């Protein structure tokens, strides 16, 4: 059953009527195609109106939608001959970050992404996409392997942030994130990152210090979650809506600030409504970004990446 967000109540009612009519027509005695067609057209208009004027908080809700495609979904759709690789060779395997080698539209690539899990058991197993130090050290290992063999790296970002537990801090969470960022900056192969859902704090930028940073239309990317910001600034987590507006975390905001390089338009109603279409759009954008970087050598790729991030904020907008 499709999950509807709070602001989608009218859409839910229309789609409920469509399902009822289709169920009635199963008996073959009623021809209600015209009525269903009218309701479908009305639903499409309402989707366009609703998703054409989403607030920042509503975009946060869409980015967190339980049916939104995760890294594993994009890997399944876009990467052939995928071979998953596990472990940081130091402490443990962290399933909050998945990665491996495969082929993407003719390219041999390394793919690394946050994974939230799609059901209760999966979310627990993947720790809701919140990686521990061993997850970031696994990412460093895979990046080093890709660099050694000359493989472009694709990263998929979808995390509320790095895991803040005591064990993670004891094992060097901050150092692991910093080293992951340094690994990104040091790569001599193309690095393309896509923010597919939530891009939360250092846990996100640890995989997103890329030559090209793409962002899905309804994804969010910020230094802190709206709830965390509200609890710090107002001592009130209920002010998350206000915090979302203040944080300027939408794709349009981030493009304006030159934090990202391009926005990938989502299917009508969000990526969760059409995984195949969303994956194709992500694939086209990543392929275009890799083609643009194809002619650069290792020194040029490093310089391009470092210059990109050193220049952020010079405009005074951030």
- For the chain, domain boundaries: 6-53, 60-310
Q: So what's the pLDDT on residue 316? A: 53
Strand blocks (E) in 170-314:
191-200, 212-216, 220-222, 262-264
Pairing state of beta strands 97-104 and 80-84?
antiparallel
In 3D, which of 79, 112, 93 has the Cα closest to residue 191? 112
Q: Which fold has domain 60-310?
A: 2-enoyl-CoA Hydratase; Chain A, domain 1 (3.90.226)
Sign of CA pseudo-dihedral 279, 283, 267, 198: positive
Task: Name residue, tokens 């793409």.
Answer: 214
CB-CB contact of 252 with 237 (8 Å): no
In 3D, which of 207, 211, 210, 221 has the Cα closest to residue 249? 221
In 3D, which of 3, 22, 62, 86 has the Cα closest to residue 216? 62
Contacts of 53 (CB under 8 A, 6+ apart): none
> Is 0.85 topped by the overall pTM?
yes
Q: What is the pLDDT along the chain (318 residues), one digit of tens a residue?
A: 678 888 888 888 888 888 777 777 555 555 677 777 888 888 889 899 899 999 999 999 999 999 999 999 999 999 999 999 999 999 999 999 999 999 999 899 999 999 999 889 999 999 999 999 999 999 999 999 999 999 999 999 999 999 999 999 999 999 999 999 999 999 999 999 999 999 998 999 999 999 999 999 999 999 998 998 999 999 887 899 999 999 999 999 999 999 999 999 999 999 999 999 999 999 999 999 999 999 899 999 999 999 999 988 775 554
267-302 exposure pattern, b = at least 16 Cβ within 10 A, e = fewer: bebbbbbbbeebbebbbebbbebbeebeebeeeebb
């Amino acid at each position: 059953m499709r999950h509807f967000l709070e602001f989608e109540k009218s859409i839910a009612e229309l789609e409920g009527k469509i399902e009822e009519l289709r169920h009635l027509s199963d008996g073959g005695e009623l021809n209600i195609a015209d009525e269903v067609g009218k309701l479908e057209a009305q639903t499409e208009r309402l989707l366009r109106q609703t998703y054409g004027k989403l607030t920042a908080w509503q975009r946060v809700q869409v980015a967190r939608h339980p049916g939104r495609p995760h890294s594993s979904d994009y890997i399944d759709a876009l990467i052939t001959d995928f071979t998953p690789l596990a472990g940081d060779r130091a402490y443990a395997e962290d399933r909050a970050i998945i990665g491996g080698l495969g082929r993407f539209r003719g390219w041999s690539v390394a793919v690394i992404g946050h994974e939230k899990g799609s059901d209760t058991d999966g979310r627990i197993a993947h720790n809701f996409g919140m990686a521990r130090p061993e997850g970031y050290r696994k990412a460093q290992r895979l990046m080093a392997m890709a660099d050694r063999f000359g493989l472009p790296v694709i990263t998929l970002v979808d995390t509320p942030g790095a895991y803040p537990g005591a064990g993670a801090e004891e094992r060097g969470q901050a150092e692991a994130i910093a080293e992951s960022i340094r690994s990104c900056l040091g790569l001599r192969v193309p690095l393309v990152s896509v923010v597919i859902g939530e891009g939360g704090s250092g846990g996100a930028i640890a995989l997103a210090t890329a030559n090209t940073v793409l962002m899905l239309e309804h994804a969010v990317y910020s230094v802190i979650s709206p709830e965390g910001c509200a609890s710090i600034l107002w001592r009130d987590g209920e002010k998350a809506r206000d915090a979302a507006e203040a944080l300027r975390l939408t794709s349009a905001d981030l493009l304006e600030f030159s934090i990202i390089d391009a926005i990938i338009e989502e299917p009508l109603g969000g990526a969760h409504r059409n995984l195949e279409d969303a994956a194709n759009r992500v694939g086209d954008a990543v392929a275009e970004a890799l083609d643009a970087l194809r002619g650069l050598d290792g020194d040029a790729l490093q310089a391009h990446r470092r210059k990109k991030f050193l220049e952020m904020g010079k405009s005074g907008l951030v």
